[in-house]
Structure 1
Amino acid sequence: GRASRARRTRSACGNARSRSWATTSSCGGTRGAGRRRYSRGDRRHTGRNGIVPKYWMVTQGPEIFGKTRELGCSRHAFKSTRSKMVYRIEAGDALVFYVTGKKQIAGAVRVTSGIVEESTRIWQSSKKPDELYPFRVDTEPLVELDEEQWLDAEPYHDRMEWTQRWPREHWTLAYQGNLREIPEGDFEVLLADLQEAAQKAPAKA
């Protein structure tokens, strides 16, 4: 009946979401048409193991993101000041990287582990020499771009939901802080454009 058809439709959406994250080219041809609004009653797509993923905007300087790239985007680290928020990150969530100074969106990864706290010095910032970035998580790339392919973040202010809390002339305020949860629709807009940029990249020799 209708109920069983609805269940099959929701299941298919969840499976499609998992497949769309598998490679950078799987949904690169689909661009976000604009902002999508979500209410508390909306049903979000489930990811692997039936867990509803969360989506995070991660703000860091070039040195920190450079170390993550050096590690093949297999791990990332968060500031010690984010002790409460980081433990909300779970395997299956997605991170999108915003690089300060450049003011650009640089890539996206899927989280593959829970948060662990470590004291070994791996990520270092010349602006914060005493910061260990102790909260760390394993990841796998969704989209990796060369620096010249990074996306300017300013135009996305008008296309995304979460940025509307700040006035257009002060759009960078949306990226203050190391970590911020964003709506699924905003993540989809960014992921599609990142994938499109990756597809347009010239083939490496």
Structure 2
Amino acid sequence: MAEPQYWILVGSAENLEATQAHGFTVQGFKSRHRKKAEAMRPGDRLVYYVTGIQGFAAIARVTSDAFEDHTPIWKSKDPKKAAEDYPWRVQIEPEIALPPGVYLPAEDIALQLHHVQKWPKDHWRLAFQGQLHRIDEHDYELIRTALVQAANRQSVAP
């Protein structure tokens, strides 16, 4: 079996909630990301980055190859793209999910990520423009470790 690929999925809190409402069983990608979706394989990991909040919220494991479906689940915030139905999809299962409304601030680890090194330090947020990005195993493990620690803090919080 091939080594897993790692991806950062950038989206709104509302779209994360839509994925959560579907039990973290399916994830859709915008129409322009067909080739990236088709490159995904079972075993790949999706890291959820929430725009506006600038935080990581979850990691899911891809459990299927990509397929096309136009059932409305997610919404684009761009009024010009209101018809976008995120047609390229994969089935997923959750690995780590912080409680709804709880996020790991990306700023805490962003400058340690290889993916972010392409931008000037004070513009690290540019690394999270666009919906879908491949990342390396180093970045995935760094985010995963921080999410596990954040989840553990949540479970012991009063």
Q: Common fold, TM-score beyond 0.5?
A: yes
RMSD: 1.6
Match in the other structure for 1:196: 149
Residue 159 of structure 1, CA deviation: 1.1
Whole-Å separation in 1 of the counterparts to 2:105 and 2:9: 15
Give the match's secondary structure for 2:39. coil
Whole-Å separation in 2 of the counterparts to 1:123 and 1:102: 18
Equivalent residue runs for 1:82-161 within 5 Å: 82-127=33-78, 128-161=81-114
Q: Which has the larger radius of gyration?
A: 1
Q: CA deviation digits over 1:119-166, x for unaligned, max 9?
A: 221222343321110011111111011144311112322211111000
Residue 74 of structure 1, CA deviation: 1.3
Q: CA deviation digits over 1:58-101, x for unaligned, max 9?
A: 10112211100111111111001112221111111000000111
- Kept after mapping to 2: 8 A contact 1:63/1:125: no
Letter in 2 for 1:188: E
- Pairs aligned (count): 155
Instruction: Name the structure with the higher strand share.
Output: 2
Whole-Å separation in 2 of the counterparts to 1:201 and 1:82: 34
Provide the identity percentage. Answer: 37
Whole-Å separation in 1 of the counterparts to 2:45 and 2:132: 12
Residue 203 of structure 1, CA deviation: 6.3
**Unaligned stretches of 5+ residues in structure 1:** 1-49
**Unaligned stretches of 5+ residues in structure 2:** none
- Kept after mapping to 2: 8 A contact 1:157/1:168: no
